[in-house]
Structure 1
């Protein structure tokens, strides 16, 4: 038996003295040992473990062909499976994700050009994606946390985030009629319907939240809430990721929220700039990029028409220790590098500043690009940054190029082709309205006097007392003491960016008799033009109206100005009005714009009665703009309109005055003709042949 430490006895010869302090290195400093890889024999005396030996150097061209077993290292080296961390090793068990960073429960890999059946990161499993500024993002978790800002007891699981608390935005039971109306048939109409329904829901959530008391430190993201509700109830399309074009999404389509792109399958990540998936090549899976968002978030991002220099994701400066962090060849960056080698097409979405919201962006789908080359550069912070040069595929429709042309016109660098007048309003409007003809030699429409309002208008008799509100400053949402809010059913009809929430029989706006300030957003239709409009010559329908700027759904465009025809004189001038192409007739029957209003059932609200019923102004009104009027007189009829009108009442001291205001039904891209439905009067003598060219054209109007 060995004597205890501290004994004064002398150990016998040949024994080990445990009292001595040995000069050894800690175990954690020793080089790790691994099982000897197949094909590399272990040295004598080490039958089981030995540091792996790398394969001998073999030269091969940068893009192949490669010898058997050769791993390409140009321009970036990808380690073999046994050297990869567990989360990047597809053979690792325990539910780990693959290289592409996506959980693929039911994935089927196909060749390039075919879509990949795959559960994306916004449908089921919890997937971390790297954002453009290097932050991590879990779409499902972020959306749930923003939907319930006070709930912090979410329990993360291997398959997602499970909420312990009760969620008010879970899957809800809706009528079969509503579900059928949102069936995704993967075409342009279904994509448009999804975006319209999302934005309608978002506007309503904004309206409800605006009416609540603000909670300090809580960021309300109505877009993420609306997106979560839509996805939880299956209202989305193009669910499977694919390489190439997305059915139903056209070049030049615009989106005001990334969540809109998620719902239609254009770009899945809610924050990350690179979307990618895995494809099978020669019995091996590789990540390839399917789309990127270029919004100027990284230094050095440049574009020159059909050429885009795109910076990779990640890197920058570590906020904790202020150290410079290099970008890594992983996730989206690795997918872009693989796409360079494979030559697959990548969808490009451009992000631009939103003229209607200084802090927001508008995203333009610019078509398909291919990556031509890549390299590593030094960023301003000192870290290494990946750079990728993308070239636009030829033969595609104009997308971002239109925006660049408009910017040149605004800056006055070059004149608009076919420009007749830079401002036909002669300064009457707060924004100039150009007059353009690039079709023929006509020098302009027949003479008229430009006037932005109504002439001969008289107060309408609503059978109730008319008085303004006593609000100080601006009308506050949720203030039930505001008389204007009461007249609107308890809500302000607009949200903070002056976008109308839903289609109502009539809107009560504040007027001269109200105490609130002129910048109150319940005066949205009274603040003049907010977008640059252009009167242009069409090919077969005379003069028309379009916008240089994008217009979001519900955005105010203009009101219809002119001379109000008194009711007693309508019969007298009826023959004259029949031949007048510049008349607005509110007595015509018009269908409510489909899909503009939100679905109350999705928010647990009661369904409105006859949501899709035909609506009319509270009193008949006809406005003659033949001799006096504004830009609205040039708006043509369309059987599939992108603009609708609402009767708006302004409160004056002597009563309520009726106006006709036009709003966008859906997001409208620049240089798209603005069309509204003239309606049907029931008078066969007043109908005219329709030339709108819509697939839903009814062949006549009026």
Structure 2
């Protein structure tokens, strides 16, 4: 007996209470599609998605709740939609695999779009380290600490002490400093291992996260799939480090598109900017909120140039699984814009405009 795998379901009809589905078979062309009775199919998840997509689109078209039972024959507009949705899901799953192949952090990435038929941004490249534009040089740390236990027995205050700042974390890795104070982590020249309590941001994203399509016109967003504790590191803003002059030129194009990917590194001086538009990590998809659950911190690890801090996001409160992750674009160090964009964050403290 030959077992064929269902790629997706294309159509539906009911004859004398018997349900039939038009099946696109994996590895075969559309000309090989065949009508199969429900009992022949062993694809529970695909069937659930098919029913869901049909009812969703029928409800959108009619403006009212769909009937529990599907019609005997589908209208052409519904058939077109379920095929487009099936192809989109395949595309999103392929993009999800690409993202997870490229990530170097523990936390996994899932992708979901239950709102529209938009395809993933294939022109976006996932990176795990900051990219430095041609002509820009980062000043590397020349020395490191000699601590055996950087938290409990720091030598000369460990790396933070040498930089005349406080130790940033507790034993759970939660940040103790107020927003605006710099974080100095141990670097490549330090004797401590990657398990050191003063190595948090450099360990990368720990939580499983989901890139999802928002239902109120804010494009893509990010939600957490697990609980995040207050003051915990969540992610770093990744992208290409460029000069402020170059950022000004790129910003004009981004303004016309209504996008916000330029993050000014103005901790001590507004000389450099991180552009996360084309190259970045999951932070590329973070949305703004006037009541955010993430806070920006400036972090220094292997680079001593205070004009180029790494930008880290820490939780401002306990964040429950399923919540969207957001930060305030007006926070210190966040992106500057030249055009007014309407805010759709939905917070009761909403300022109505992003900039």
Contact 2:293 2:319 in 1 (8 A): yes
CA deviation vs aligned residue, 1:175-233 (integer Å, no higher than 9, x gap): xxxxxxxxxxxxxxxxxxxxxxxxxxxxxxxxxxxxxxxxxxxxxxxxxxxxxxxxxxx
- Other-structure match for 1:517: 193
Contact 1:469 1:514 in 2 (8 A): yes
CA distance in 2, matches of 1:647, 1:683: 17
Contact 2:261 2:335 in 1 (8 A): no
Shift, 1:629, TM fit? 0.8
- Other-structure match for 2:160: 485
- Other-structure match for 1:425: 99
Which among 591, 613, 618 is matched to residue 268 of structure 2? 618
1:630 aligned to 2:281? yes
CA distance in 1, matches of 2:342, 2:99: 30
Shift, 1:655, TM fit? 5.6
CA deviation vs aligned residue, 1:615-639 (integer Å, no higher than 9, x gap): x623334211221111000000000
Shift, 1:475, TM fit? 1.6
Counterparts of 1:545-560 in structure 2, within 5 Å, are 545-560=222-237
CA 636–537 in structure 1, closer or farther in 2 if over 3 Å, else same: same
Q: Where do 5+ consecutive residues of structure 2 fail to align?
A: 1-88
Task: Specify which structure has the bigger relative contact order, considering alpha-carbon pairs within 8 angstroms and separated by 6 or more residues.
Answer: 2
Give the 3-state SS of the residue equivalent to 1:575 in structure 2.
Answer: helix
CA distance in 2, matches of 1:488, 1:585: 25
- Other-structure match for 2:246: 569
1:672 aligned to 2:319? no
Contact 1:480 1:490 in 2 (8 A): no
CA deviation vs aligned residue, 1:250-281 (integer Å, no higher than 9, x gap): xxxxxxxxxxxxxxxxxxxxxxxxxxxxxxxx
CA distance in 2, matches of 1:646, 1:676: 12
CA distance in 1, matches of 2:195, 2:222: 27
Which among 310, 333, 339 is matched to residue 686 of structure 1? 339
Shift, 1:577, TM fit? 3.8
Contact 1:424 1:435 in 2 (8 A): no
Give the 3-state SS of the residue equivalent to 2:300 in structure 1.
Answer: strand
Which among 157, 177, 184 is matched to residue 508 of structure 1? 184
Give the 3-state SS of the residue equivalent to 1:486 in structure 2.
Answer: helix
Shift, 1:470, TM fit? 2.7
Shift, 1:498, TM fit? 1.3
Counterparts of 1:170-189 in structure 2, within 5 Å, are none
Shift, 1:521, TM fit? 1.9
When normalised by structure 2's length, the TM-score is: 0.64
Contact 2:128 2:238 in 1 (8 A): yes
Give the 3-state SS of the residue equivalent to 2:99 in structure 1.
Answer: coil
CA 526–642 in structure 1, closer or farther in 2 if over 3 Å, else same: same
Counterparts of 1:255-294 in structure 2, within 5 Å, are none
Shift, 1:525, TM fit? 0.4
CA distance in 2, matches of 1:445, 1:685: 25
1:538 aligned to 2:214? yes
Give the 3-state SS of the residue equivalent to 1:572 in structure 2.
Answer: helix
CA 535–683 in structure 1, closer or farther in 2 if over 3 Å, else same: closer
Give the 3-state SS of the residue equivalent to 1:660 in structure 2.
Answer: strand
- Other-structure match for 1:23: none
CA 501–573 in structure 1, closer or farther in 2 if over 3 Å, else same: same
Q: CA RMSD in A?
A: 2.9
> Which structure features the higher share of helix residues?
2
Q: Where do 5+ consecutive residues of structure 1 fail to align?
A: 1-417, 588-615
Give the 3-state SS of the residue equivalent to 2:283 in structure 1.
Answer: helix
Which among 290, 306, 314 is matched to residue 639 of structure 1? 290
Give the 3-state SS of the residue equivalent to 1:513 in structure 2.
Answer: coil
Which among 129, 138, 155 is matched to residue 453 of structure 1? 129
Shift, 1:459, TM fit? 5.7
CA distance in 2, matches of 1:423, 1:474: 39
Shift, 1:685, TM fit? 3.2
CA distance in 1, matches of 2:262, 2:250: 14
Indicate the structure (1 or 2) with the bigger Cα radius of gyration: 1
Shift, 1:505, TM fit? 2.5
CA 483–466 in structure 1, closer or farther in 2 if over 3 Å, else same: farther
CA 684–663 in structure 1, closer or farther in 2 if over 3 Å, else same: closer
CA 468–651 in structure 1, closer or farther in 2 if over 3 Å, else same: farther
CA deviation vs aligned residue, 1:269-302 (integer Å, no higher than 9, x gap): xxxxxxxxxxxxxxxxxxxxxxxxxxxxxxxxxx
Contact 1:582 1:634 in 2 (8 A): no
CA distance in 1, matches of 2:223, 2:150: 32
CA 446–466 in structure 1, closer or farther in 2 if over 3 Å, else same: closer
